[in-house]
A and B are shown apart, each in its own frame.
Chain A
Amino acid sequence: MDNLRKKAKELLESKTVDLVIGYENGTNGKARAVFIKDPEKTGKLIYDDRCKQNLAVYLNKHEVKHYGKIAIVAPLMVMRSVLVLVSECQLKPENIVVLGIGEDGSLLDFPSLEVVEKYIAKIPLGNPEPDQVIIDKLNAMSMEQRREFWQNELERCFKCYACRAACPMCYCLRCTVECNQPQWISAPAHPLGNLEWHQLRTMHLTGRCVSCGDCGRACPLNIPIHLLTMQQAEEAFHMFGVRAGTSQKADSALSTYKPDDKENFIL
């Protein structure tokens, strides 16, 4: 943690960056995001198990984009999000400094995003253990049981779109749900509209989700919607060999193909 604070201070003092995004102690013993411009305030920075939020979501916010160069405290999911955003032209590599956090919580020094790529290449990627356990359980159920599970869960959704706001990849200027010519998604929060919305969200994140789980955490009704995109992330890897957020190049699952992609259902 000292290293992190020291490094952040150095970066701000030397004007290498204009803003540091990190975590600080919030109320009720929780960690929350903090935006630091003053090098003297870097002492606020913390990193521990409570720091779960994917800070990359702020990188695309209007208020943040105005700062030139930004340093971001980046556990694995944030690193991956940064790479996704770079590959999708939403972030310029020269405008970001990654203050990497290793699996053991230590500060990792990344002189460039290439080194981040190398680091990620060495780490086994996948969904967080507890989530994958639930996904496996769901996959073990019958089709009917799964349908009931999701119907019961999704029924409760009242379309607050907190999931969308929490996701670093949901940065569109106009979401498809706001499209009414044609009306792709039924507007009210009824079972059909909910199902359509979550299908849309899941498909749009296929090959782009970095399994941070923030959508699920953001849901005020605790609907485990993060499982949908996480399952798709695994599928994209198994079907196409692609993991989101491993490279700065645009090679996302659905914008590329291999002539010999293997499926077993096309007649």
Chain B
Amino acid sequence: MSSASNHEIHVDNSLSGLILKHTEVPVQKCYQCGKCSAGCPVVNEMDYPPSLLLRMLQTGTPEMEEKVLRSYSIWLCLSCEQCISRCPMEIDIPKMMDYLRQVSYKKKMVNPKAKDIVRFHKAFLDSIKNTGRLYEIGLTLDFKLRSMNLMQDLTTAPSMIAKGKLGLFPEMIKGTKHMAKIFAKTTGLKSEDEK
């Protein structure tokens, strides 16, 4: 009689299943033509080229998934969208990379070589969280402090100031409280005035 009970909805808890669920990017569609890797500007710096990442995700094994989350590639991706613009299967790799980075970060699996990239992103977001806009000199200092790489860009900054390209004081927007709220709501952390 009723066939309802015979049909259990298959829940795919693999990483590729989660990618599909959260970003609608169909990893399983990849047939390994390699066009994404062929056109990727940073493929030579990556530990796994994009098409290889897709293959690793397709296997669905925990070992491979961990390798993906710990990879340097996901942080190196520039989101330049060259791959998706040429992918015959329209697999939105940049969107997938965004998701993988977020998972990697949450699970504390960020590749050691990518720590400074994460630091930069965090410094960047902190800057706009506090002022609403990007305070470039503050960001540079903040990032340098976070990455303990004080010498880098030491040559560029003074000439930037000379050319009027770095404001010495941050620009503040009126809605800074508003910004704090937006950050609080999206990151799940309480904003200053709510504490």
A→B interface (CB under 8 Å): 139, 231, 234-235, 238-239
Residue pair A139, B1 in contact (C-beta under 8 Å): yes
B residues in contact with A238, CB < 8 Å: 2-4, 6-7
A235 to B3, CA, bound (A): 7
A239 to B1, CA, bound (A): 12
A residues in contact with B4, CB < 8 Å: 139, 234-235, 238
Interface bin, chain B: under 10
Residue pair A139, B3 in contact (C-beta under 8 Å): no
A239 to B3, CA, bound (A): 7
- A-B Cβ contacts below 8 A, count: 15
B residues in contact with A231, CB < 8 Å: 2
A238 to B6, CA, bound (A): 9
B→A interface (CB under 8 Å): 1-4, 6-7
A139 to B4, CA, bound (A): 10
A residues in contact with B1, CB < 8 Å: 139
14 interchain pairs (CB within 8 A)?
A139-B1, A139-B4, A231-B2, A234-B2, A234-B4, A235-B2, A235-B3, A235-B4, A238-B2, A238-B3, A238-B4, A238-B6, A238-B7, A239-B3
Of all chain A residues, the one with the shortest Cβ separation from B3 is A238
A residues in contact with B2, CB < 8 Å: 139, 231, 234-235, 238
Closest Cβ of chain A to B17, distance in Å, is 15
Of all chain A residues, the one with the shortest Cβ separation from B21 is A122
B residues in contact with A234, CB < 8 Å: 2, 4
Of all chain B residues, the one with the shortest Cβ separation from A143 is B1
A76 to B106, CA, bound (A): 35
Closest 5 pairs between A and B when the two form their complex, measured CB to CB: A238-B3, A139-B2, A238-B7, A238-B4, A234-B4
Closest Cβ of chain A to B7, distance in Å, is 5
Most chain B CB neighbours (cut-off 10 Å) among A234, A238, A239: A238
Closest Cβ of chain B to A24, distance in Å, is 34
A55 to B6, CA, bound (A): 35
Of all chain B residues, the one with the shortest Cβ separation from A121 is B24
Q: A231-B2, A235-B3, A238-B2 are in contact. List 10 more A-B contacts (CB 8 A).
A: A139-B1, A139-B4, A234-B2, A234-B4, A235-B2, A235-B4, A238-B3, A238-B4, A238-B7, A239-B3
Closest Cβ of chain A to B117, distance in Å, is 32
Most chain A CB neighbours (cut-off 10 Å) among B1, B3, B6: B3
